[in-house]
Structure 1
């Protein structure tokens, strides 16, 4: 541990994500040559090559892969300890913006009120994010964290508390063949056109919420999706609480058997984790908030 430089470790962790010296320098606000210097210094301390670099690609060596797996949680724990000490010394302050998809109901707002009560010096806002862009607001810094529908497979994002595992329904227009049924199966849903989220929602995320081989209309908001359903263009999967909240005369909600339950999670960017974000995550987890009652599209 003698002479250990945290900047070298931080540089290596960012490089292991970017696998590009230029982008690593941009994230750390240093030159590309400085990235090379920090890496070389760390490799001398370790006593082996951590990164293999050619004119075309950058890759971790087996030693680098092993090192980053051990280093990341340890470094994260160190950052958390420092941030928590700062927060304890001065209290959580500043601003915290929480994004949500669909509608923020009493469950989410109760968690926000609890957080505000515990940390009155932190200005907390709740803002809606597009259905079709679940991760963009977090990446762009428009929000500090967001309650989004799972799955989340983004390497640059941290998935915090996961909650609200709820059964799904399929929303259909009153003239749809499903409208007269007491329930439908996953196979029947997969054979019908389903409303899907438009890009930039990742393909895996869109497929999870529209598991059909039949193309349906792509929408950017929940209300657009329900309008397409009411017009008879396609069906749409929704979690049961969302269906209950958005009942309307021209749409029928039918239970679906055999599809995975809907679930929500709080996500934030690895580079944007703060004491306020962690405290809000603890508030959600500690209160056991059931966001299944929140009308968030599933």
Structure 2
């Protein structure tokens, strides 16, 4: 490789794209004469002219065209290797496992896209976790972080950041007396049998998901809950974006007036902090 300079290669690639010494210099933050110097040095190394320049235009020579075809992919691979190594050095490499309750909404999708763009050496995998056990997967190490409806008051879990707030809705059978209303007052929910999470979810969390004194059916997943609503077994409270992803012809989703907004939070185990988790938390914060 005989003292090959990456700056010369970068200059050639930019000039091949712009076909204009002035614009190439602007992109490289150097003068036009510096672009010419770098090009001449590179041509000296390869032993031939790569670019033809006249008073009217700039174009690649046949040698330059062939060099560009080989150099472009090699330079991209080199840049990717540097970026992946940088990510590995900062701890943002490998696999990040992200759990979610109910549906992977737009906020989570935006955060995942931003995370992948910033950390290509780390693969984020997603998995639905049970409505009945929102914290178990984090505690067992099945996921590194989980997107869970608040409140979360577990001493072994850390919450944050939070996603945007959304209005609550109630899922009702299409023939329910309240199904045709524009909104349902929160007071009306107190008299409805609301679907609630079964299993090990703590009492305060279960109460927040089903604010009613009337016993309703217990389910493991939100899909089960919507199916029971369609069968006329009860109603189900859930946030607007989740409702949008669970829609079906035999269920109506009506906004609820008077309930606190639904808030999703990113949850991890207190002992589960690492570079991948911190980087994903930054992506959530930036996309919120």
* Class of the TM-score when normalised by the shorter of the 2 chains: 0.5 to 0.7
Residue equivalent to 1:140: 140
State how far apart, in whole Å, the 1-side matches of 2:180 and 2:91 are. Answer: 56
Greater C-alpha radius of gyration: 2
State how far apart, in whole Å, the 1-side matches of 2:242 and 2:94 are. Answer: 33
Q: Does 1:287 align with 2:278?
A: no
Classify 1:254/1:110 alpha carbon distance in 2 versus 1 (closer, same or farther; 3 Å). closer
Count residues in correspondence. Answer: 203
Residue equivalent to 2:64: none
Q: Is the 1:144–1:268 Cα contact (8 Å) retained in structure 2?
A: yes
Q: Is the 2:87–2:121 Cα contact (8 Å) retained in structure 1?
A: no
Classify 1:181/1:90 alpha carbon distance in 2 versus 1 (closer, same or farther; 3 Å). closer
Residue equivalent to 1:20: none
Structure 1 portions without partners, runs of 5+: 1-85, 289-298
Q: Is the 1:91–1:121 Cα contact (8 Å) retained in structure 2?
A: no
Give, in angstroms, the shift of residue 239 of structure 1: 1.1
Residue equivalent to 1:185: 185
State how far apart, in whole Å, the 2-side matches of 1:251 and 1:278 are. Answer: 39
Deviations 1:241-265 (A, max 9, x none): 2223322211111221111110100
1:69-108 equivalences in 2 (<5 Å) = 89-108=89-108
Normalised by the length of structure 1, the TM-score is 0.65
State how far apart, in whole Å, the 2-side matches of 1:165 and 1:90 are. Answer: 32
Give, in angstroms, the shift of residue 275 of structure 1: 1.3
What SS does structure 1 have at the residue aligned with 2:199? coil
Let me know the Cα RMSD of the aligned residues: 1.7
Residue equivalent to 2:127: 127
Give, in angstroms, the shift of residue 169 of structure 1: 1.2
What SS does structure 1 have at the residue aligned with 2:223? helix
Residue equivalent to 2:109: 109
1:1-298 equivalences in 2 (<5 Å) = 89-288=89-288
What SS does structure 2 have at the residue aligned with 1:162? strand
Q: Is the 1:91–1:119 Cα contact (8 Å) retained in structure 2?
A: no
Residue equivalent to 2:37: none
State how far apart, in whole Å, the 1-side matches of 2:153 and 2:145 are. Answer: 16
- Which of 177-186 and 92-101 deviates more? 177-186
What SS does structure 2 have at the residue aligned with 1:179? coil
Give, in angstroms, the shift of residue 281 of structure 1: 0.1
State how far apart, in whole Å, the 2-side matches of 1:144 and 1:130 are. Answer: 15
What SS does structure 1 have at the residue aligned with 2:179? helix
What SS does structure 2 have at the residue aligned with 1:271? coil
Classify 1:88/1:286 alpha carbon distance in 2 versus 1 (closer, same or farther; 3 Å). farther
What SS does structure 1 have at the residue aligned with 2:237? strand
State how far apart, in whole Å, the 1-side matches of 2:91 and 2:205 are. Answer: 37
What SS does structure 1 have at the residue aligned with 2:125? strand
Deviations 1:115-156 (A, max 9, x none): 122222223211111111110000000000011111100110
